[in-house]
Every structure is written in C-alpha cells, then in structure tokens.
C-alpha cells in the first residue's frame, strides 16, 4: 500500500495510491498519515478499505512529505563502505548519528533552495525508514516489526557548513528544503527485504549515484536496534539510512549544485523524486 499526503504546504490531506496509480482521498477515514495511522492496526484498517470506494482526487496536486507530525529525522552517516572511501573516512564501528531539523523536510518534488553563502551543496539519495510502533530496547531480530514502511529521502548537504563552520554535521544538513521526503510511504509488507533495493540519482540527466541497500555497513534492523538502546523511537520518526557513493564531494574535482540544476532520484518499489535547485533571495 502506498500512502501519500497531497495539497499545498501545511494543509496536505491524506491519500492512497491505488493499484492503477490513481490518487484516492483518505480524509474521511484518517486525519493524516501520522501517529496511530502508522501502527499495524492503523495500516490494517486502511488496507481493508476498498480503494474504488474512496474519492478520486482530480488533477495533479502537489505531494507533500509522506509523513506528517514527524517527531525526529534521524540520519546515519557513512553507512556504505564505498561512500566512506570516497569521503576519505574510516568505516565506523557503530552507526554515526546526526539530526536533520524538521524544518528542512519538504515534499518530494519541491524546489531545493540554496541558502545564502552556499558554495558546496551536495546530493545524497537515501532509504528512509518510517517507524510505526514505539521501539525501545529492541533486538535486531524484532526491529523490523516496528517499521510502518519505507520512502525516499534526499539528504541534501551543504559541505562547507557541514565540515568547516565548527560543530556537528547538523549545520550542513538542516537548511530549509534540505530534506525532500516521499513521494509515498510504501508499507513494509510491500518491501519484504529492505536490504535488496537499488538506488539511482541523476543530476541534469547524468547518472551520479548508483547503489544498493545490500551494501549497507549497518542494516536497517541493526540501525533500529542500536538507536532504540539510546532513546525511544516513536511512530512517525524517520531514519535516513545513509547514501551510496557518487556524491559531488567525492568527485575529482568536486561538483556541487547550482541554481537551475535538476535532481532526479529513484529507489526500487519506492517511486521517484524530482527537485529543481534555486537560489535563496
């Protein structure tokens, strides 16, 4: 099942993509794609609906972030060995964790805005994991039972802010619009193995990233188990699980985004994103 949120920023409505690709309205059944809706019982209730009975949404509305009321956007750094190599960094012993401000999260096709002073903004396609039921002190054997589903995240990163402004990586990760998320949340029953997904990212029609979640250093289950030892993961929290090689920072010479560039991202089963880059005023 594919769950979406559609409409203008801040007033999105919940929806479902049916088997034929038609957007159906869910607002008579749930208030949003958040909270209890993400639980096993909530998803089962939506799955029991006949999609043909749901109102069809006319036109081609904007899609917002596929999850509302996100509590935490948790990001894992250097989780692909070949990406760690291109960054010139050692493979970590434990998952590297940083946070992305919720104010960075936007829809999958919204513009990415370069902040003032940006000279090194980069792309990063990542598998997003949406928590459906609270997870505290869970094991890797049971970790995936706490997942509502999966989505695409573009962990846009300003490398100068990230590495040379002193402090944590969050500075370069949390600029406004630096977290396109969606287009939809694909429930976990449709992704039986999150470690077998192919990922692709193009910039201006040129392939820059090709990877597979099979090459993660820490699996989705291991990440959830690790984080749950530190704090509770709540419904609606999103974990962005790291990026494969091919980022602009790793190219020789480095290549970074400029106004007018177009990023296109795709992960098997999870859909596509497309963002146009523009400069902040």
Give the mean model confidence (pLDDT) for residues 189-206: 98
pLDDT band at 163 (very low <50, low <70, confident <90, very high): confident
Distance (Å, whole) CA 122 – CA 111: 14
Residues 7 and 102 in one domain: no
Q: Quick one: 127 and 216 in the same domain?
A: yes
What's the structural domain count of the chain? Answer: 2
Whether pLDDT at 208 is above 80: yes
Kindly state whether residues 99 and 155 are assigned to the same domain. yes
Residue 67 domain-assigned (yes or no): no
Confidence check: pLDDT of 83 > 90? no
Give alpha helix (H) positions in 72-165. Answer: 81-86, 159-164
The whole domain housing 88 covers 73-279
- In terms of domains, do 32 and 79 share one? no
Q: 174 and 123 in one domain?
A: yes
Residue 175 in domain: yes
Looking at residue 273, what is its pLDDT? 98
**pLDDT tens figures, 63-82:** 999 999 999 999 999 999 87
Asked whether residue 82 falls in the same domain as residue 201, the answer is yes
192/155 same-domain check:
yes
Output the pTM of the full model: 0.96
Q: What is the pLDDT of residue 169?
A: 85
**Mean pLDDT (whole number) for 3-20:** 98
Q: Domain holding 275: CATH number? A: 3.90.850.10
pLDDT of residue 221: 98
- 58 is a domain residue: no
Residue 61 located in a structural domain: no
pLDDT tens digits, 43-58 = 999 999 999 999 999 9
**Partner residues linked to 278 by β-bridges:** 113
The chain-wide mean pLDDT, for the chain, equals 96
Alpha helices (runs of H) in 50-201, residue ranges in sequence order: 81-86, 159-164, 170-173
Measure CA of the first residue to CA of the last residue in the chain; give whole Å: 39
Type and span of the H or E element at 99: strand 96-99
Please give the pLDDT value at position 91: 87
């Amino acid at each position: 099942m594919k769950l979406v949120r559609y409409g203008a920023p801040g007033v999105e409505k919940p929806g479902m993509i049916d088997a034929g690709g038609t957007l159906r309205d869910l607002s008579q059944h749930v208030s949003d794609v958040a909270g209890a809706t993400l639980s096993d019982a909530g998803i089962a209730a939506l799955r029991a609906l006949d999609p043909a009975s749901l109102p069809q949404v006319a036109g081609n509305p904007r899609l917002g972030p596929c999850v509302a009321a996100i509590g935490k956007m948790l990001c894992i750094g250097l989780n692909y060995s070949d990406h760690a190599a291109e960054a010139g960094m050692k493979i970590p012993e434990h998952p590297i964790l940083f946070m992305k401000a919720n104010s960075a999260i936007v829809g999958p096709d919204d513009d990415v805005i370069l902040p003032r002073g940006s000279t090194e903004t980069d792309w990063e396609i990542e598998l997003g994991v949406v928590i459906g039921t609270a997870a505290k002190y869970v094991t890797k054997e049971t970790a995936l039972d706490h997942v509502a589903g999966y989505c695409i995240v573009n962990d846009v990163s300003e490398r100068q802010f990230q590495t040379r402004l002193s402090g944590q990586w969050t500075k370069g990760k949390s600029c406004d619009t630096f977290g396109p998320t969606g287009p939809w949340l694909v429930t976990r029953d449709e992704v039986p193995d999150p470690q077998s997904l192919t990922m692709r990212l193009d910039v201006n029609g040129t392939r820059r990233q090709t990877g597979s979640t099979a090459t993660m250093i820490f699996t989705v289950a291991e990440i959830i188990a690790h984080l749950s030892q530190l704090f509770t993961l709540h419904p609606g929290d999103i974990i962005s699980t790291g990026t494969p090689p091919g980022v602009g920072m790793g190219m020789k010479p480095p290549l970074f985004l400029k106004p007018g560039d177009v990023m296109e991202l795709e992960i098997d089963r999870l859909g596509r994103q497309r963002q146009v880059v523009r400069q902040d005023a």
